[in-house]
Amino acid sequence: MNGSPQLPEGLAERLSEFARSSAGTVVIGVAGAPGAGKTTLVEALVRELSGGIPDVEQRRFAHVPMDGFHLSDRELARLGLLARKGAPETFDAYGYAALLERLRSPRTAVVYAPGFERTLEQPLAGDIPMFPAAKVILTEGNYLLLDRPEWQEVRSRCTEVWFCEPDDELRVQRLVERHIRFGKSPAEAAAWVRDVDERNARLVQETKARADVVVRPAWN
């Protein structure tokens, strides 16, 4: 997503308080519809809170996304789900929950999390190092509040889950732009948003009431 968020007042302070007061590692989830700006928001928070610590291995705040738990296109094709890529059942939710549980446990060595390469539209194993110094881990994804057993496992690993809710028209516009930026034609991008992303967005919107905090960032 292009642009940067104007961080809602109090979010950075809330995370700092978790870092000060919690004995163990805290996982804070950020949910929201496709294109809501979850990643941009989380990255802005981590940047602000870690700005004075140049050594990444010593930072107390870290980011691990849900997107690394996309199933591969080959597996989605086997399951008959390739045309629905991005829907809840196209992720390894139990694997995601297991990683969050591992990150919550005491760590003396780096834990590697999977990332997601948008130019390939594929997950990448061992892409994100999570160092033992990280005491507050922010994780973001669409379905953290979904009322299904596998996603309840994810929610149970989070101390809080926030819901990111920007202006909806702008969200859709930026989502189309993102698809174009990563290789779809304008017509393909608009069709994918209409037929796939917005179907998922309606499902995600229904989970908003379960959030601990609703975040409404403004975008530059």
Over range 89-105, report the average pLDDT: 97
**How much is the pLDDT for 175?**
84
Res 220 pLDDT > 50:
no
For β-strands 160-164 and 213-215, DSSP reports them as parallel
- In one-letter notation, the amino acid at residue 190 is A
Average pLDDT over the chain, rounded to whole?
Answer: 92
For β-strands 61-63 and 136-140, DSSP reports them as parallel
**How much is the pLDDT for 50?**
93
Over range 151-175, report the average pLDDT: 91
**How much is the pLDDT for 168?**
81
Over range 204-208, report the average pLDDT: 95
Over range 213-220, report the average pLDDT: 77
Res 1 pLDDT > 70:
no
Radius of gyration of the chain (CA): 17
Over range 145-158, report the average pLDDT: 98
Q: What is the pTM of this model?
A: 0.90
Domains annotated for the chain, with CATH where assigned, are 5-215 (3.40.50.300)
Tens-digit pLDDT profile for residues 128-149 = 999 999 999 999 999 999 999 9
Res 42 pLDDT > 70:
yes
Over range 186-198, report the average pLDDT: 88
**How much is the pLDDT for 18?**
95
**How much is the pLDDT for 4?**
59
Q: Alpha-carbon distance 150 to 144, whole Å?
A: 10
Coil vs helix vs strand at 108 = coil
